[in-house]
Structure 1
Amino acid sequence: MGTSTPFNVEILSRIQFAFTIAFHYIYPPLSIGLGVCLVVMEGLYLKTKDKVYEELTRFWVKIFALIFGIGVATGIVMEFEFGTNWATYSRYVGDIFGSALAAEGIFAFALESAFLGILLFGWNKVSPRVHFMATVLVALGSIFSALWIVVANSWQQTPSGYRIEGTGLQARAIVTDFWAMVFNPSSLERYSHVLIGALLAGSFLVLSVSAWYILKKQYLVHAKAAFRIALWIAAVSALAQLFTGHKSAEVVTKYQPAKLAAMEGHFEKIAPADMYLMGWVNAKEQKTTGLKIPGGLSFLVYQDFKAPIPGLNSIKPENRPTAVNFVFQTYHLMVSIGMSLIALTLFSLYLLYRKKLFETRWLMVVFVFSVLLPQIANQVGWYTAEVGRQPWVVYGLLRTSDALSQAVKAEHVLASLILFTFIYVMLFALFLYLLNKKIQHGPDVKDDRAEPSSRMNPVLN
C-alpha cells in the first residue's frame, strides 16, 4: 500500500476527498441562496417597475455566473475520485448513485444550464416576464440539483430500497424500489437542512457586499434595497434552521445512535445524556467536560430530562467514530453559529423597524465579515455528518477501509493531493480576484442619489 509516506491510503484518500468536496461546497450553497435572492429582486422589479431592482438583478446575475462557473469546474474532480481512489465503493453504490445522479443531470443540471443563457444574455432579447421565468427556472434547477445529491448521500446514511448482490469486493447494492431509495429515512430532513444552509450562505453574501457599499457610501439606494431583501431571507432561514436541525437530529437519534453519542460526547452505556453548550472530549478517558445542561439531550429527544440514551459504550468499539472530539467540536460550532445568525438577523430587523439599521456602522462592519459564518457552519455541519458516520462509508453495510481502490498507492494519492491543493488555491485566488473586480465595479446605474422609489414593496421598508 506504499510505505514512503507517513499516512496510509485510506487516510490520504479521505483527506483528499474531504479537501476537494469542501472546496467545491463553497460554491453550490452560494448559487442556491443567491438564485433565490435574484428571484425576489427581479420579481419586485416586475411588480413595481422600479429600475433599482432591475439594476440589482443585473449586478448579482454576474456574480451568480462567476460562482456557477467555479462550482462546475471544482465539482468535476470528485467524479474522477470515485473511480480512482474509491473503486470498490463505486462498484458497491454504482446502481444507487447512478440513478440519483442521472436524475440530477436530467431534471436539475440540464434545467439550470438551459436557462442560464437566457438569464445572462437575454435581457434585451426576451420580454421581462420571460427573463423572470428563466431566473426562476435557473434557481429551481440549482435547488433540484442539491436534492438529488443529498438523496444520494442520505442513502449512505440510511440505506433503503435496495438488495445486495454478490459477495466480497464484487458486492453491489441494487435498487429494488426507486422511490424508497429517494425517500430514505433521512433524505427529506437532511435536504431541508442543507437547503436552508444554502439560503443563509447566499443571503449573507448579499448582506456582506451591501454592508460594504453602505460603509463606503456607494450605491446607497441599491445597497439598502438589497440589504432589506437579503435580511428578510436570512432571518426567516436562520429561524427555520432551528426546526430543520431538530428534525435532522431526530433521524440521527433513530438510525445513527453512535453519531448522536459522539455529537454530545456521551459515553455511558445507557443513561440520561447532557447537552453541552461548549466543552472538550477526552476519548481516551471517556470523559467530557464543559458547560452543559444536565439531561438536556434527553429532553430534546424525548422531552424528558431523565430519559436514557445509548452512549458510545453501548456500541462495539470497531463500530464507533474514532474522532469523537472532532465530531463534538464541529457539531457545537455549527450550532453556535446558527444561534448567532438568529440573534444577528433578529436584532437587525429590530433596528430596521426603528429606522436605525443603516446608521449603525459597527453592525455594518459585522455584516461585511458575516459572510464567513454560514460557510463555516455548512462546512462543519458536513464534517459532523461524514466523520460521525465513520467507520462506515455506507452505514452498517460497507466500511470505509473496504471501499478503497486496490491498485492505488499512498504516494500516488499524496502527489495528487498536493497538485489539487495547488490548483484549488489558484482557483480560489482567481475567484476572489474576479469577485472583487465585480464588487468594485458595482451596479451599472445612471443616478444613485435618490432614495428608493415610493413604489418599493412596503414589506421591505
Structure 2
Amino acid sequence: MDVEVLSRIQFAFTVAFHYIYPPLSIGIGLLMVVFETMYIRTKKKDYEILAKFWTKIFAITFGIGVVTGIVMEFEFGTNWATYSRYVGDIFGSALAAEGIFAFALESSALGVLLFGWNRVKPWVHLVATWAVFLGSMFSAVWIVVANSWQQTPAGYHIVGEGMQARAEIVDFWAMVFNPSSVDRLTHVWLGAFLAGAFLILSVHAYYIIKGHFVGLSIKAFKITLVVAVIASLAQLFTGHNSAEGVAVNQPAKLAALEGHYAKEAPADLYLVGWVDNETQQVTGLKIPGGLSFMLHQDFEAPVIGLDAFAKEDRPSQVNAVFQFYHLMVAIGMFLIALSLFALWQWKRGKLFENKWLLWVFVFTAILPQLANQFGWFAAEMGRQPWVVYGLLRTSDALSKSVQANQVLFSLILFFIVYAVLFLLFIYLMNKAIQKGPSTESDHGEGGINSQIASIISK
C-alpha cells in the first residue's frame, strides 16, 4: 500500500479507537448530573450511591480518552503536514478554544468531582459535577466545529498559492457556525447521550437479572430509560436535518450515502442494499422515490446523483459509504423501537418481569458505539477525495517526507499500544462493575422475582 492509504488507515484507526471514550464520558456525565441532582433535591441515599458509582466509571473512560486523544495531534504534523499548514489557522483557533473553554473547565473541576465527596458541601460537589459534564460538552463543540469546517468551509479566505496556500479566518463566528456545525453537533451530542445511557441500562439490567443491587438498579434503569427514549427520538430528527444539509452542501456525499447515480432524477430510499460501483446498480429493498420525498416532499422531485460529478471529484468507495450509513440508521431505528417498547412495558408494570428484554439491554450497550463509529466513517469517507471539501484534496494533504514503511511501522506500534489500553479499559470497567455500587442493602437471599415484586409493591 502507498503512503496515502496507510496514512488514512492509521488516522482512521487512532480516531476510531479514541472515539470510543469521549461519547461515553459525555453520556455518563449526563446521568451523573441527573443522579446527583436528584440526591441534592430528595436527600435519598440511593441517588448518592448511583452518582458515586458512575463517577468511578466516568473517571476510567475520561482517563483513557485523554491518553488516546494525544496521538492524533502528532499525526497532523508527522503524516499530514500540508494539511496542517493549510488549516492551521482554523484548527488552531478551534483547539485553543477547546483548551480555554472546555478542557480547563473540565480538568479543574475533575479533582473536586473525584475526591470532594464528604470534603466539600454537597452543592459545591454538584457544581463540580455540572462543570465536568459541561466541559465535556464544550470539548465536543470545538472538535465538531473544526471537523465541520472541513465539510462546509466558511468564514475564511485563502492566502498564498499552490502548495503554499493556506486558509485564514476572516469571520470567527462564521467559521464556528458554518453550514453543517449545528446539525452535526446536536447529532454527536445525542449519540453520546445514547452511548452513556445504554451502557448504564446494560449494567443495571445485568444487576437486576442476577439479583444484585436490585433497588438501586430499578431506579437507575427507569431514569436512564427516559433519557434513552428522548435521545433516540431526538436523534431521528437531528439525523434528518443533517441529511438535508448534506443534500445542499455536499450533494456528492448524499448521493454516495444513498447509492444514487443518475445525474438528475428521482431518488429511491433504500432500507437495505448493495452497491455495484462498476455497473452503478443498487440491489436491495427500497421505497421508490423515497429520498426525493424526504428532501422535497415530492416522490418525483429530481435529486443530484454521482454522475453529475467527475469521477475524480466523488467518493470511490461508494458501497462502503452506503453500508456504513445504512447500518447507522438501522441501529438508530432499533434503539428507538427498543426504548419505546421498554417504556410501554414499564407503563404496563411488566418491564422488570421480562428477563429476555433485560438480556437484550445487557447486550445493546455496544450498539450506540457502533452507530457512532459507522456515522463517522460514512461522513469522512463520503467527503473524499477532499480533506477540506472543494478546497484541498486528501492526496495533496500528505507530508512530503514521510515514507510508507514508516507509517506501517508506527501503525503496528499504535495497534499494540491501543490493544493494551483497551484491555486495561475492559479490565478496569469489569472490576468496577463486578464490585458494583458501595452498598449491601440489596443483597437479599430471595430470588430475583420476589425482590422485584417487593420493591414494586412499596
Shift of 1:354: 1.1
Instruction: Give the counterpart of 2:112 among 118, 126, 149.
Output: 118
1:173 is aligned to: 167
Alignment of 1:430 with 2:428, yes or no, is no
TM-score for the superposition, normalised by structure 2: 0.97
Shift of 1:440: 0.6
Letter of the 1:276 counterpart: Y
Instruction: Give the counterpart of 1:310 among 286, 301, 304.
Output: 304
After superposition, residues 199-278 of structure 1 pair within 5 angstroms as 199-278=193-272
Alignment of 1:25 with 2:19, yes or no, is yes
Instruction: Give the counterpart of 1:407 among 401, 416, 424.
Output: 401
Residues 149, 175 of structure 2: 8 Å contact kept: yes
Alpha-carbon distance in 1 for matches of 2:301, 2:274: 23
Equivalenced residues, count: 450
Letter of the 2:73 counterpart: E
**CA displacement 1:361-386 (0-9 Å, x = unmatched):** 01111111100100000000000100
Alpha-carbon distance in 2 for matches of 1:414, 1:225: 49
Letter of the 2:66 counterpart: V
Residues 269, 311 of structure 1: 8 Å contact kept: yes
Alpha-carbon distance in 2 for matches of 1:388, 1:200: 24
Alpha-carbon distance in 1 for matches of 2:389, 2:45: 52
Shift of 1:355: 1.3
Shift of 1:97: 0.2
2:124 is aligned to: 130
**CA displacement 1:211-270 (0-9 Å, x = unmatched):** 110111101011111111111111100000011001100110001000000011000111
**CA displacement 1:35-75 (0-9 Å, x = unmatched):** 00001000111111110000011111001000000000000
Alignment of 1:75 with 2:89, yes or no, is no
1:160 is aligned to: 154
Shift of 1:449: 6.0
2:294 is aligned to: 300
After superposition, residues 269-288 of structure 1 pair within 5 angstroms as 269-288=263-282
Letter of the 1:86 counterpart: W
Q: Secondary structure at 1:358's aligned position in 2?
A: helix
Alignment of 1:34 with 2:28, yes or no, is yes
> Which deviates more, 14-23 or 347-356?
347-356
Alpha-carbon distance in 2 for matches of 1:200, 1:431: 20
Alpha-carbon distance in 2 for matches of 1:331, 1:446: 45
Alpha-carbon distance in 1 for matches of 2:428, 2:180: 38
Alpha-carbon distance in 2 for matches of 1:226, 1:62: 16
Alpha-carbon distance in 1 for matches of 2:76, 2:321: 24
Letter of the 1:131 counterpart: H
1:183 is aligned to: 177
Q: Secondary structure at 1:277's aligned position in 2?
A: strand
Q: Secondary structure at 2:286's aligned position in 1?
A: strand
Shift of 1:412: 0.2
Instruction: Give the counterpart of 1:347 among 341, 344, 362.
Output: 341
**CA displacement 1:344-369 (0-9 Å, x = unmatched):** 00000011111111110011111111
Alpha-carbon distance in 2 for matches of 1:169, 1:316: 23
Residues 212, 443 of structure 2: 8 Å contact kept: no
Residues 13, 413 of structure 1: 8 Å contact kept: yes
Alpha-carbon distance in 2 for matches of 1:229, 1:387: 37
Alpha-carbon distance in 1 for matches of 2:239, 2:146: 19
Identity, % of aligned positions: 66
Instruction: Give the counterpart of 2:145 among 151, 174, 179.
Output: 151
Alignment of 1:337 with 2:331, yes or no, is yes
Alpha-carbon distance in 2 for matches of 1:101, 1:266: 36
Residues 263, 331 of structure 1: 8 Å contact kept: yes
Alpha-carbon distance in 2 for matches of 1:296, 1:446: 55
Alignment of 1:59 with 2:87, yes or no, is no
Alpha-carbon distance in 2 for matches of 1:404, 1:26: 26
Shift of 1:447: 1.7
Alpha-carbon distance in 2 for matches of 1:46, 1:355: 28
The alignment's C-alpha RMSD in Å is 1.5
**CA displacement 1:150-193 (0-9 Å, x = unmatched):** 00000000000000011122111000000000000000000000
Alpha-carbon distance in 2 for matches of 1:167, 1:200: 45
Shift of 1:445: 1.1
Letter of the 1:32 counterpart: I
Residues 31, 202 of structure 1: 8 Å contact kept: yes
Q: Secondary structure at 1:406's aligned position in 2?
A: coil
Letter of the 2:195 counterpart: A
Alpha-carbon distance in 2 for matches of 1:39, 1:134: 10
Letter of the 1:393 counterpart: V
Shift of 1:446: 4.0
Alpha-carbon distance in 2 for matches of 1:168, 1:421: 35
Letter of the 1:315 counterpart: F
Residues 221, 449 of structure 1: 8 Å contact kept: no
1:381 is aligned to: 375
**CA displacement 1:9-57 (0-9 Å, x = unmatched):** 0000000000000000000000001000001000111111110000011
Alignment of 1:48 with 2:22, yes or no, is no
1:326 is aligned to: 320
Alpha-carbon distance in 2 for matches of 1:331, 1:35: 27
Alpha-carbon distance in 2 for matches of 1:345, 1:285: 40
Q: Secondary structure at 1:93's aligned position in 2?
A: helix
Alpha-carbon distance in 1 for matches of 2:177, 2:201: 34
Q: Secondary structure at 2:273's aligned position in 1?
A: strand
Letter of the 1:97 counterpart: F
Letter of the 2:248 counterpart: K
Shift of 1:129: 0.7
Residues 244, 295 of structure 2: 8 Å contact kept: yes
Shift of 1:448: 2.0
